[in-house]
């Protein structure tokens, strides 16, 4: 009996040691992570590559600072502030809890340095000082943040402060954070390199970027981390490989390490899926019937073809890759213009890529080319997706960086 008791004691000790080492997860920790959400999107088109709980409202933590910086960039572009303007640290801003730079009330920091400090150290005191510099009070600035969020399609986001420090009513979603990242990359390309900074030296101290994946994950060049006890470990990240850029968002990681490991997994899957997804959408797209001719009504005559001679009747095939529908047959329908080039080949390639990324409710759109001869540039080939209603055309434009809704010809 003594031997049996010793064996039981030994097994209990082994189990305890294994639990301490993390080999077994106690039942309380094994419960569902209510803070978790994720999404991966194609940065160019917004096409969703994966998502879990992407519309769940959660606390963004310091991901908030991306919006703080977007409004800063807006003010710089508008000439309201300059990179070398001095931002004064108010007593209120200086009272913020860490992470913080620790400037005393009355001390100043250049706007350029403030941007770099927010990206790397994620300093809460600097975020608030910048908000006060731009709007007078953080409260007014938060209202500006929410208005900006609504204007760029972040319908489920409400900001209450500039730093991301916890506020029960400061909420966002993984989908909205991905949209914010996409707008930043596509519309603020001159400023996006700030988010690629791995470290920043200020007054003799080097601050390393909290996004450690930028040093280890192939192709990653930004964006922003976030953490509070109520949010868990959050991350918006962007990476580019072989000409494809994707954006990943993770909310609610239990640790920085597990969050980063999970981000690697979903980004890897995103890159693996992106080409397959595009091909599947192209295959499933209902192509228009072949036309016997292309009528170039906008140009008034047959347009030249790069390396392809126009045939009789003005019919032009596009290297056997797709048929261009007659623009004169669709005067009662709306279209969207997504680009204009001097090269027919480049226009064709853009249209082929474009039809791959539209959601199912818009896959009835078909590609057309509207050529235009100009006095200064010669022939221009306008890439359009046609066969849409007015509301569908507006929806379709959300998927392209440069897009113009084109009404039906009278």
Output the pLDDT for position 319.
31
Q: What is the mean pLDDT of residues 280-290?
A: 39
pLDDT band at 316 (very low <50, low <70, confident <90, very high): very low
Output the pLDDT for position 334.
83
Is the peptide bond between 99 and the residue preceding it cis, with omega within 30 degrees of 0?
yes
Is 57 marked active-site?
Answer: no
Distances (CA, A) of 41 to 46, 61, 218, 269, 270: 6, 21, 17, 11, 8
User: Of 35, 56, 65, 264, which residue is the catalytic one?
Assistant: 65
Output the pLDDT for position 321.
32
User: Which 8-state DSSP code applies to residue 13?
Assistant: H
At 325, give phi and psi (nearest 5°).
-75, 160
Whether the pLDDT of residue 9 is over 90: the answer is no
Residue appearing with tokens 């080097």: 206
Do 111 and 87 meet the contact criterion of CB atoms below 8 Å apart? yes
- Domain chopping of the chain, boundaries: 37-282, 312-406
Whether the pLDDT of residue 235 is over 90: the answer is yes
Whether the pLDDT of residue 354 is over 60: the answer is yes
Whether the pLDDT of residue 14 is over 80: the answer is no
Output the pLDDT for position 113.
95
In angstroms, the CA 129 to CA 165 distance is 14
Output the pLDDT for position 276.
59
At 226, give phi and psi (nearest 5°).
-160, 145
Do 116 and 200 meet the contact criterion of CB atoms below 8 Å apart? yes
In angstroms, the CA 67 to CA 84 distance is 21
Whether the pLDDT of residue 243 is over 80: the answer is no
pLDDT band at 32 (very low <50, low <70, confident <90, very high): confident
Is 62 marked active-site?
Answer: yes
Beta partners for 381? 341, 371
For the stretch 368-409, pLDDT in tens is 888 876 665 667 788 888 888 888 888 888 887 778 888 765
Whether the pLDDT of residue 341 is over 70: the answer is yes
In angstroms, the CA 175 to CA 25 distance is 30
In angstroms, the CA 105 to CA 93 distance is 8
In angstroms, the CA 221 to CA 111 distance is 22
Number of Cβ within a 10 Å radius of residue 352? 16
In this prediction the pTM is 0.63
- Helices and strands, number each (H, E), in the chain: 10, 15
Output the pLDDT for position 306.
40
Whether the pLDDT of residue 114 is over 80: the answer is yes
Helix (H) or strand (E) holding 184: helix 174-187
Output the pLDDT for position 69.
96
Output the pLDDT for position 7.
55
Q: What is the mean pLDDT of residues 30-44?
A: 85
Q: Which two tokens stand for residue 339?
A: 């680009």
Q: What is the mean pLDDT of residues 237-262?
A: 91
Which of 12-26, 307-321, 358-372 bottoms out in mean pLDDT, i.e. has the lowest?
Answer: 307-321
Which of 203-217, 233-247, 324-338 bottoms out in mean pLDDT, i.e. has the lowest?
Answer: 324-338
Dihedral (Cα; 369, 375, 376, 379), 10-degree rounding: 20
For the stretch 173-208, pLDDT in tens is 999 999 999 999 988 988 999 998 989 999 989 999
Please identify, in words, the CATH class of the domain defined by 37-282: alpha beta
Whether the pLDDT of residue 40 is over 60: the answer is yes
At 106, give phi and psi (nearest 5°).
95, -20
How large is the C-alpha radius of gyration of the chain?
Answer: 26
User: Of 35, 56, 62, 163, which residue is the catalytic one?
Assistant: 62
Whether the pLDDT of residue 126 is over 90: the answer is yes
Output the pLDDT for position 129.
95
User: Of 122, 172, 238, 335, which residue is the catalytic one?
Assistant: 122
In angstroms, the CA 267 to CA 247 distance is 8
In angstroms, the CA 130 to CA 132 distance is 5
Q: What is the CATH number of domain 312-406?
A: 3.30.70.1070
Q: What is the mean pLDDT of the chain?
A: 78
């Amino acid at each position: 009996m003594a031997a049996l008791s010793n064996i039981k004691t030994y097994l209990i000790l082994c189990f305890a040691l294994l639990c301490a080492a993390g080999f077994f997860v106690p039942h309380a920790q094994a419960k569902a992570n209510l803070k978790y959400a994720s999404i991966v999107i194609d940065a160019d088109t917004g096409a969703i590559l994966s998502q879990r709980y992407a519309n769940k409202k959660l606390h963004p933590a310091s991901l908030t600072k991306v919006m703080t910086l977007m409004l800063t960039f807006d003010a710089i572009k508008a000439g309201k502030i300059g990179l070398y303007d001095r931002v004064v640290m108010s007593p209120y801003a200086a009272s913020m809890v860490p992470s913080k730079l620790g400037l005393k009330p009355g001390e100043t920091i250049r706007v350029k340095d403030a941007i770099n400090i927010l990206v790397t150290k994620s300093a809460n005191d600097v975020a608030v000082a910048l908000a006060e510099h731009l709007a007078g009070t953080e409260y007014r600035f938060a209202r500006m943040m929410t208005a900006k969020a609504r204007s760029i399609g972040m319908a489920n986001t409400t900001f209450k402060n500039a730093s991301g420090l916890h506020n029960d009513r400061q909420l966002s979603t993984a989908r909205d954070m991905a949209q914010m990242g996409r707008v930043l990359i596509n519309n603020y390309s001159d400023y996006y390199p700030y988010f690629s900074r791995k470290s920043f030296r200020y007054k003799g101290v080097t601050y390393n970027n909290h996004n450690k994946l930028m040093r280890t994950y192939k192709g990653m060049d930004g964006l922003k981390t976030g953490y509070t006890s109520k949010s868990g470990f959050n991350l918006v990240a962007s990476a580019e490989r072989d000409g494809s850029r994707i954006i990943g968002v993770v909310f609610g990681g239990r640790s920085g390490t597990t969050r980063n490991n999970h981000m690697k997994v979903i980004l890897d899957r995103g890159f693996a899926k992106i080409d397959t997804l595009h091909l599947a959408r192209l295959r499933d797209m209902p192509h228009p019937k072949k036309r016997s001719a292309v009528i170039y009504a906008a140009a008034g005559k047959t347009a030249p073809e790069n390396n392809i001679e126009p045939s009789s009747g003005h019919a032009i095939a596009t290297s056997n890759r797709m048929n261009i529908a007659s623009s004169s047959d669709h005067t009662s329908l709306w279209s969207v213009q997504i680009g204009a080039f001097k090269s027919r080949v480049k226009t064709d390639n853009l249209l082929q890529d474009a039809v791959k990324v539209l959601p199912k409710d818009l896959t009835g759109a078909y590609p057309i080319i509207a050529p235009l001869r100009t006095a200064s540039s010669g022939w221009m080939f306008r890439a359009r997706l046609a066969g849409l209603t007015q509301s569908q055309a507006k929806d379709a434009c959300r998927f392209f960086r440069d897009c113009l809704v084109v009404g039906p010809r009278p």
